[in-house]
Amino acid sequence: MIKILKFYQDRGLKIVKGEGQYVWDDKGDKYLDLHAGHGVAFLGHRNKTVISYLEKQMNEIMTLSLAFDTPIREEMTRELDDLKPNNLEHVFLLNSGSEAVELALKIARKITKRRKIVAFKNSFHGRSMGALSVTWNKKYREPFEPLIGPTEFLDYNNIDSLKNITEDTAAVIVEPVQGEGGVIPAKKEFMKALREMTEKVGALLIIDEVQTGFGRTGKIWAYQHFDIKPDILTAGKAIGGGFPVSAVFIPEWISEKIEEGDHGSTYGGNPLAVAAVTAACKVAKSEKIADQAQKKGELFLKILKEKLEDFKIIREIRGLGLMIGIDLKVNPSTAIKILQDEKVLSLKAGLTVIRFLPPYVINQSDMEWAADAARKGISETESKRLAS
């Protein structure tokens, strides 16, 4: 029998069903899913609106080249218009976050006619060759070098480092909250200084919102926390309500310089993906998901800090909206394993962080469940450390 390549560590669970913020394994055990497919299931598993739109579209047409128009695409543009990033009136749909980053980097080079890209230490932007070239972790990059360059990595949240953004820089790519890097929110003064520097030297500012975007941080787009505007924005994960889709948003002045053939994607913007985005937009507006994420994120942080305040092994509990990290002074793998044993799914970020990426439908009872499970996992981790 053919074997599937395993690029991810096996968690030892066979998941057979999902509903809202929960999943079930093949033994019938119920789990609180704070992993959510690396944050994809922000609208909850099997969101009813998303399912209904997909079912309807499957019964009409599933595959169609972007050379042809279709009613669902027209509906999507109407729904997405209310939620589009400020001043970014044009969108192109793709299939993954990495693909969105690839297109953003291509656009930056074409528009500026420069080559250098600036990114940040602890960044993660994807694993394809262009996206990988602006991803910090050497474990991901070094086996595949030489990558696309030149690339320079600066210190995140360090305004002094921004002097390295010069007139040979095509673009700077930044996450408003570093997810894979450790759930590290940007500081407002840093993001403002970054915007000012890119404008000064004529470099484009690419804001990577593949994980942070579409409501998770308490705003529809996380950059809105910082009172700045991007030149290019990449989105993915939550924007399709669980369906594989990503997007690149650009303003009119950039779109005017994009030509036929500059990019393409066989599956990008296919009718099913467009239907999923349409439905996700409807949910985002009707359910006020960003407002819910902000309020629930504040409550979740409060519960976690109250229940875990006595652990010396915890360096910090931080986050923005429903993007939360518990930063330990040691590897979090033991705690993540015990969380799973307690029927709470989480994931690692950076070297020391337990990451929670809950669906917006999480409730206070779920938060208490997660905090109690985290307490058990961290207690065991601290005991092992003291014993060693």
User: How far apart are the C-alpha atoms of 335 and 385, rounded to whole Å?
Assistant: 12
Residue range 48-286 forms a domain whose CATH class is alpha beta
- Per-residue tokens: 319: 């986050």
Contact yes or no for 178/156 (Cβ under 8 A): yes
pLDDT of 258 reads 95
Q: Is 124 annotated as a binding residue?
A: yes
Contact yes or no for 159/190 (Cβ under 8 A): yes
Q: Give tens-digit pLDDT for 325-363.
A: 999 999 999 999 999 999 999 999 999 999 999 999 999
Q: Is 77 annotated as a binding residue?
A: no
SS3 370: helix
Split at pLDDT 50, 70, 90, the class of 384 is: confident
SS3 15: strand
Q: Give tens-digit pLDDT for 182-214.
A: 999 999 999 999 999 999 999 999 999 999 999
pTM of the complete model: 0.97
pLDDT of 386 reads 75
C-alpha triplet 67, 73, 76: angle, nearest 5°? 150
Q: Is 364 annotated as a binding residue?
A: no
Portion of the chain with pLDDT greater than 90, in percent: 97
The least confident of 3-12, 67-76, 344-353 is: 3-12
Q: Give tens-digit pLDDT for 270-329.
A: 999 999 999 999 999 999 999 999 999 999 999 999 999 999 999 999 999 999 999 999
Split at pLDDT 50, 70, 90, the class of 385 is: confident
Q: What are the angstrom distances between the C-alpha of 377 and each of 9, 113, 256, 341, 349?
A: 19, 51, 53, 9, 16
Question: Which string of b and e fits 250-264 if b means at least 16 CB within 10 Å?
Answer: bbeebeeebeeeebe
Whether 59 has a pLDDT exceeding 90, the answer reads: yes
Whose tokens are 């890209």? That residue is 117
Q: Give tens-digit pLDDT for 208-264.
A: 999 999 999 999 999 999 999 999 999 999 999 999 999 999 999 999 999 999 999
Average pLDDT, stretch 64-84?
96
CATH architecture of the domain with range 15-33+288-387: Alpha-Beta Complex (3.90)
Non-local (6+) Cβ contacts of 141 within 8 A are 132, 133, 135, 147
Direct distance between the N- and C-terminal alpha carbons of the chain, in angstroms, rounded to an integer: 44
Average pLDDT, stretch 170-181?
98
Partner residues linked to 247 by β-bridges:
93, 235
Q: Is 209 annotated as a binding residue?
A: yes
Q: Which of 97, 85, 13, 36 is nearest to 361 (CA)?
A: 36
At 155, phi and psi to the nearest 5?
Answer: -75, 125
Q: Write down the domain spans for the chain.
A: 15-33+288-387, 48-286
The mean of the pLDDT values for the chain is: 97
Q: Is 286 annotated as a binding residue?
A: no
pLDDT of 48 reads 98
Whether 107 has a pLDDT exceeding 80, the answer reads: yes
Cα 301 off chain centre by: 19
User: How far apart are the C-alpha atoms of 184 and 190, rounded to whole Å?
Assistant: 13
Split at pLDDT 50, 70, 90, the class of 115 is: very high
Q: Is 29 annotated as a binding residue?
A: no
User: How far apart are the C-alpha atoms of 144 and 142, rounded to whole Å?
Assistant: 5
Average pLDDT, stretch 52-57?
98
Split at pLDDT 50, 70, 90, the class of 38 is: very high
User: How far apart are the C-alpha atoms of 286 and 1, rounded to whole Å?
Assistant: 46
Contact yes or no for 42/36 (Cβ under 8 A): yes
User: How far apart are the C-alpha atoms of 279 and 62, rounded to whole Å?
Assistant: 16
Whether 92 has a pLDDT exceeding 80, the answer reads: yes
User: How far apart are the C-alpha atoms of 215 and 89, rounded to whole Å?
Assistant: 19
Whether 145 has a pLDDT exceeding 90, the answer reads: yes
- Per-residue tokens: 109: 């080079």
User: How far apart are the C-alpha atoms of 346 and 333, rounded to whole Å?
Assistant: 10
Whether 387 has a pLDDT exceeding 90, the answer reads: no
- Per-residue tokens: 314: 């915890």
User: How far apart are the C-alpha atoms of 111 and 206, rounded to whole Å?
Assistant: 13
SS3 121: coil
Q: Is 340 annotated as a binding residue?
A: no
Q: Is 46 annotated as a binding residue?
A: no
